[in-house]
Structure 1
Amino acid sequence: MQEKKKPNFDRTKSTMKNIRFDDELLEQIEKVAGKGNFSKWVKEACLERLKKDS
């Protein structure tokens, strides 16, 4: 029996969500976020919006 690999990080307090982006918006985000930083950029943008709205 093959042993499952355990990830190096803990994601027990996170949830994956699938969302749609308009193509133009997605291109703009990818351009400014840089390669490999999309999720980080989107999370930071959400946090900024939450600060603004609270």
Structure 2
Amino acid sequence: MQDKNKKSFERLGSTRKQIRFEDDLLKKIDEDRTKTNQAFSEWVKDACERKLKT
């Protein structure tokens, strides 16, 4: 996707994106992911995959 702009230390096959979350949403995410014992990025990726399947 953006491989031509990647630095030599960045991973191939993935791209870093910055995103801003509303405080209330972030709190809800953190509460839910403590139940699932997932890392934040893992939780967000899972939520995105679920959204794309619907």
Give the TM-score taking structure 1 as reference length: 0.70
Residue correspondences, number: 44
Corresponding residue SS for 1:14: coil
Task: Give 1:1-54 correspondences, 5 Å limit.
Answer: 11-34=11-34, 37-52=39-54
- Runs of 4+ residues deviating >6 angstroms: none
What is the alpha-carbon root mean square deviation over aligned residues?
Answer: 2.2
Quick one: distance in 1 between partners of 2:44 and 2:38? Answer: 12
Shift in Å, 1:24: 0.3
Q: Quick check: which one's helix share is greater?
A: 2
Over 3 Å counting, the alpha-carbon distance change for 1:37 and 1:15 in structure 2 is same
Q: Which runs of 5+ in 1 are unaligned?
A: 1-6
Determine what percentage of the aligned residue pairs are the same residue: 45
Which structure has the greater CA radius of gyration? 1
Quick one: distance in 2 between partners of 1:15 and 1:36? Answer: 20
In the alignment, residue 50 of structure 1 is paired with which amino acid?
Answer: L
